[in-house]
């Protein structure tokens, strides 16, 4: 199993010395170590190894510099490619998760341990994230707040929630 995570997508160059802009960095990723090997490609399987010499994060985007990429022409050849980084080289924000880690997690009632559904989508909203849980009958939005989400175990792919009044009636 791969330990690489898609950090973002290269969309354009910055300047003329090979620096690139990466977008859609998950908010769980605070920073990426420098002077590490990374993969650049359309997917991890169809990628090439590069040495990351610099990574600076700005909100949902970042700037990166790779060893051997010294011009905007070189950098332009990597546009629309993904940046894949080893999990161990990523500094994460506390109590945050990357979308693909949550997808497929089973959701249980914290009091009865009843299986309620499975996480199928994640929406990043200004106030708080919303995880979409698919049940047998509907898709239910779960606000990611302490009153609802009680525990997350990524290794077991389990989430325990508090069923607030009316929560299961919020069909999408």
Domain span including residue 61:
4-92
**Measured between alpha carbons, how far is 28 from 30 in angstroms, rounded to an integer?**
6
Q: What is the pTM of this model?
A: 0.75
Tell me the CATH number at 104.
Answer: 2.30.30.240
Q: Domain for residue 172, yes or no? A: no
Tell me the CATH number at 37.
Answer: 2.40.30.60
Average pLDDT by consecutive 10-residue portion of the chain (172 residues)?
A: 84 92 89 92 93 90 94 93 92 81 93 95 87 92 93 94 82 64
Domain C-terminal end among 66, 92, 118? 92
Question: Could you tell me if 26 and 78 lie in one domain?
Answer: yes
**Measured between alpha carbons, how far is 95 from 102 in angstroms, rounded to an integer?**
12
Give the contacts of 24 (CB within 8 A, at least 6 positions apart). Answer: 8, 9, 60, 61
Predicted pLDDT of residue 100: 80
Predicted pLDDT of residue 172: 61
Predicted pLDDT of residue 167: 76
Predicted pLDDT of residue 15: 87
Question: Could you tell me if 108 and 136 lie in one domain?
Answer: yes
Question: Could you tell me if 117 and 86 lie in one domain?
Answer: no
Residues in the chain: 172
């Amino acid at each position: 199993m791969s330990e690489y995570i898609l950090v973002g997508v290269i969309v354009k160059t910055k300047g003329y010395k090979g620096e690139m802009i990466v977008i859609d960095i998950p908010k769980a990723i605070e920073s990426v170590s420098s002077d590490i090997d990374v993969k650049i490609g359309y997917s991890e399987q169809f990628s090439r190894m590069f040495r990351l010499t610099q990574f600076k994060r700005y909100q949902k985007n970042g700037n990166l510099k790779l060893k051997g990429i010294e011009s905007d022409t070189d950098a332009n050849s990597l546009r629309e490619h993904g940046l894949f980084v080893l999990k161990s080289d990523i500094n994460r924000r506390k109590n945050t998760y990357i979308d693909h880690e949550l997808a497929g997690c089973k959701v249980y009632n914290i009091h009865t341990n009843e299986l309620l559904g499975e996480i199928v989508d994640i929406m990043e909203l200004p106030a708080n994230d919303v995880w979409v849980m698919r049940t047998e009958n509907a898709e239910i939005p779960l606000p990611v707040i302490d009153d609802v989400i009680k525990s997350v175990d990524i290794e077991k792919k389990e989430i325990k929630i508090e069923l607030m009044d009316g929560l299961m009636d919020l069909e999408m």
